[in-house]
Amino acid sequence: MGQGRVELIAVSKAFGARSVVKQVTLQADPGEMLILVGPSGCGKSTLLRMVAGLEQPTNGEIRFDGRSVLDLPPQDRNVAMVFQNYALYPHMTVRENFEFPLRMRRVDSRERAERVASIAEMLALTAVLEEKPRALSGGQRQRVAMGRALVREPSVFLMDEPLSNLDAQLRVALRAEIRQIQRRLGVTTLYVTHDQVEAMTLGDRVAVLRSGELQQVGAPQDVYSKPANAFVASFIGSFGIAFYAAEWKPEIGALQLGTVAAAVPDSVRSDRGSLVVGVRGDALCIATSTGPTTFLAPIEHIELLGSERVLYVRLPFPLWDAKENVAMGSGVAGTVGIRTASGTTAAIGQQLPLEVVPDRLLFFDHAGKALTSG
Amino acid sequence: MRSDGNQSALAGLLLSMPAFVGLAAFVAMPFLAAVILSCTDAQLNSPLAMRFVGTEQYRRLLSDPMIRRALANNLVFAAVVVPVQTVLALLLAVLLELVPSGKRLFRVLLFLPVVFPMSLIAVVWILLYAPGETGPMNRVLSWLTLGGWEPRDFLRDPQLAFPAIILLSLWQGVGLQMVILSAALSRIPKELYEAAAIDRAGAFAQFRHITLPQLRNPLVFTMLLTTILAFRLFEQVRIMTHGGPGDATRTLLLQAVESAFDLQQIGEASALSVVLFCIVLCISVLQQVLLDEGRRS
Ligand SMILES: Nc1ncnc2c1ncn2[C@@H]1O[C@H](COP(=O)(O)OP(=O)(O)OP(=O)(O)O)[C@@H](O)[C@H]1O
Ligand SMILES: [Mg+2]
């Protein structure tokens, strides 16, 4: 162990004239689970394929444990990959699919049988071991793809949206399993997902990509609470974020956000005057009394999540004209979801009295770059 | 629902009527006629009336040494051509995949012999097999053996005539098999090879565990097609050797044609056709069974 450091150094990839990955420098430490997230088409799969050796970078360097692997074919990189489109061997049964990588490594038949049995059990595929992939459902196929990678003990796992096709329950269960196996084996893992909940809960660190460019790498909590820019802020987080144009008013020593004056940390008292405020649901609380810092916001949409109820409100502040600086996030555009206990009475159209929690606000300049707040 | 099903079944029947009529007129009727004629001693040039002889013709066929030789030749032809041509076609198809550009051109070139009429090909190969030192094939062999080759008259040499026919048939037939396999080969999804590469399969293992199983059905199809064609071997030998020298290149179909049109032995020719038909039918049935199995698994 202690093996399996993966380094990408200024890696770029172009297909013809189209630049798909741009100067990505990224490192996964031995045994780390690094999550790659980003919108569709941002180059996540391409990045994984370059690490696997299926695609040659146009520029840059890829190293395993300090050694360049660019001239190694996929066979010699000792990676296991879950393909986004599964790539199961259609003429082999599930068992044979699992056994194939082991056979190619000359694992003896007794050990093969043991490993296949335990993987099949873990993925709830024991009953279909003798079936061909064609006879399986989409979710089962995806689990076979998963199993074919997990049955090995590679130095790097590459997983391209391995849980995207599963129902919520199975997804949560397998997420935990993957994490456990990965920890137990101590195998460095690059894990691609669309799902930001997965990104937040599964990994040691999260790398956010956007049109081939790396936006930010960090612990999930840091990426959530200290996003490097408005794009990351809008991509990470479940219940939406809205961006407003605000004005720093030195004469009152506060930030003018629509009609509300909010106290803000010293560090963002910029001299620039005009700035952008990102507001997530957790930066708002329901006001119990009215005052100069409270305001009313209409509820536009209600989501019931079992024990919680999420109220999507539209804040009466001037919206920031974000151009292409933000992701098409969850929730209704321009609204922010506030989590409340499910007992709360609320109806669509109701005016909710709110107050901002100043130290949960996020601050950006008009280009979308975060203003460091600490 | 039910009447819908019935209606579409009826429509299907109606639509397939022309094909059925065609099949009946041009396949079933002649076959029936052949079966009936094969039980007679019909001869076109005989003044005697046609007599019913039962299975006499078939018994004669079995004991006729010329027919036995013809059947043996067909079997040898199939035994050589099917494996050799399949391996060659597969090799060419795989090599073609590796060609970076001009794949289409190569495919067309290799397919050309299939398109040319056999009569033309046969004439060209008669020239290639010309006897004497100046014959191109003799020259090539002499060059390959650094002068050690004694010029032979291929088509009149009892030992070489049939191999010469086989060689030309391979050259002519490999294109069709290659094109079918090549098309199937380019339909194998790339990611299977990618997955196999990551699972540490080298080029040979990929061929064995991905390419071959993925080509199973086209391989079965082309091999059995070639087997059928082997039993229909006729034009080459008719044009180039007339079954000779001796009976060295005699085949069943040649024998049937000769007894029907040269000797006017309609009864015997019919019996031979029926036998040939049954052989081909058996191979076709085998093909269907194997292909269905392949599809199911
Ligand atoms: N072989 C290729 N040839 C040309 N363009 C390609 C090729 N592979 C990928 N691309 C392009 O590169 C871009 C990134 O593709 P990639 O598959 O890496 O995206 P992704 O982030 O994995 O998206 P998704 O989340 O939808 O899977 C896409 O615009 C795609 O069209
Ligand atoms: Mg992808």
- A162, A194, A225 - which closes a domain: A225
Instruction: Evaluate if residue A344 carries a pLDDT over 80.
Output: no
For residue A131, give the chain B residue with the closest CA. B297
Q: Tell me what ipTM this predicted complex has.
A: 0.84
Query: What whole-number percentage of chain B has pLDDT above 90?
Result: 21
Whether residues A214 and A352 share a domain: the answer is no
Give the pLDDT confidence score for residue A374 in this predicted structure. 44
Query: Is the pLDDT confidence value at B169 over 60?
Result: yes
Inter-helix orientation angle B216-231/B266-296, to 10°: 180
Question: What range does the domain containing A347 cover?
Answer: 230-373
Q: Residue A306 domain-assigned? A: yes
- Range B81-110 average pLDDT: 87
For residues A56 and A203, membership in a common domain is answered with yes
Q: Pick the residue of B192, B199, B212, B295 with the most A CBs within 10 A to test the interface with A by mutation.
A: B199
In a domain, A205, yes or no: yes
CB B201 within 8 A of CB B209: yes
Nearest chain A residue to B201 by CA distance is A104
Domain boundary among A225, A250, A282: A225
Fold of B68-296: MetI-like fold (1.10.3720)
> Comparing C-alpha atoms, which of A27, A9, A154 is closest to residue A68?
A9
DSSP 3-state assignment of B4?
Answer: helix
Q: What is the pLDDT of residues A279-303, one digit of tens each?
A: 998 888 888 877 777 888 999 888 8
In angstroms, rounded to a whole number, what is the distance separating the alpha carbons of residues A178 and A170? 12
Query: Are A181 and A51 found together in one domain?
Result: yes
Q: How many domains would you assign to chain A?
A: 2
* Residue where the block lists tokens 């094969």: B38
What residues does each domain of chain B span?
Answer: 68-296
- Residue A236 CA to residue B162 CA, distance in Å, equals 77
Lowest mean pLDDT among A65-69, A189-193, A203-207, B43-47: B43-47
Which residues from B are below 8 Å from A when comparing CB atoms?
189, 191-192, 194-202, 205, 209-210, 213-214, 216, 297
Convert the pLDDT of each residue in A90-127 to its tens digit: 999 999 999 999 999 999 999 999 999 999 998 889 99
Report the alpha-carbon distance of residue A144 to residue A122 in Å, rounded: 11
Residues from chain B that touch A53, judged by Cβ atoms under 8 A, are 197-198
Domain co-membership, A258 together with A221: no
Q: A50-80, pLDDT tens digit by residue?
A: 999 999 999 999 999 999 999 999 999 999 9
Say if residue A160 is in the same domain as residue A42. yes
Cis ω on the peptide bond leading into residue B163 (within 30° of 0)? no
Residues A137 and A280 in one domain: no
Task: Answer whether residue A1 is part of any domain.
Answer: no
CATH number, domain of A319, equals 2.40.50.140
Radius of gyration of chain A from Cα atoms? 24
Q: What is the pLDDT of residue A103?
A: 93
Same domain, A217 and A258: no
Mean residue pLDDT across chain A: 87
Q: Which residues of B228-255 are buried (b: 16+ CB within 10 A; e: fewer)?
A: bbbbebbbbbbbbbebebebbbbbbbbb
What pLDDT does A184 receive? 85
In terms of domains, do A292 and A355 share one?
yes
Instruction: Identify the residue whose tokens are 């007679």.
Output: B40
Shortest Cα–Cα distance, B196 to chain A (Å): 8
Answer for the pair B286, B64: CB distance below 8 angstroms, yes or no.
Answer: no
Angle between helices B56-63 and B266-296 (to 10 degrees): 80
Is residue A138 lining ligand 1, measured as CB closer than 6 Å? no
A240 and A214 in one domain? no
The pLDDT of residue A26 is 94
Q: Are residues A191 and A235 in the same domain?
A: no
Q: Dig out the tokens for B251 from the structure.
A: 């085949």
Domain with residue A199: its CATH number is 3.40.50.300
In the predicted model, is pLDDT for residue A273 greater than 90? Answer: no
Q: What confidence tens digit (pLDDT) does each residue in A297-327 have? A: 999 888 888 888 889 999 888 888 776 667 6
Query: Is the beta carbon of A209 within 6 A of some atom in ligand 1?
Result: no
What pLDDT shows up at residue B1?
45
Tokens standing for residue B140: 């090539």
Weakest mean pLDDT among A86-95, A317-326, A342-351, B93-102? A317-326
What would the pLDDT profile of A142-161 be if each residue is shown by its tens digit?
A: 889 989 998 988 989 999 99
Mean pLDDT over residues B136-164, rounded?
Answer: 85
Phi, psi of B232 (to 5 degrees): -105, 15
pLDDT at B28 over 70: yes
**Which of A162, A197, A225 corresponds to the end of one domain?**
A225
Q: What is the predicted pLDDT for the residue at A329?
A: 55
Counting atoms of ligand 1 from 1, which one is nearest the CA of A209? 21
Q: Where does residue B165 fall: left (phi above 0), alpha (psi -120 to 50 degrees), or beta otherwise? A: alpha
Residue A215, φ and ψ in degrees, nearest 5? -95, -45
Q: Same domain for A61 and A133? A: yes
Residues A161, A288: one domain?
A: no
Q: If DSSP codes are grouped into helix, strand and coil, which group holds residue A214?
A: strand
Q: Is A70 helix (H, G, I), strand (E, B) or coil?
A: coil
- Percentage of chain A with pLDDT > 90? 44
Taking the CA of residue A73 and the nearest CA in chain B, the distance in Å comes to 8
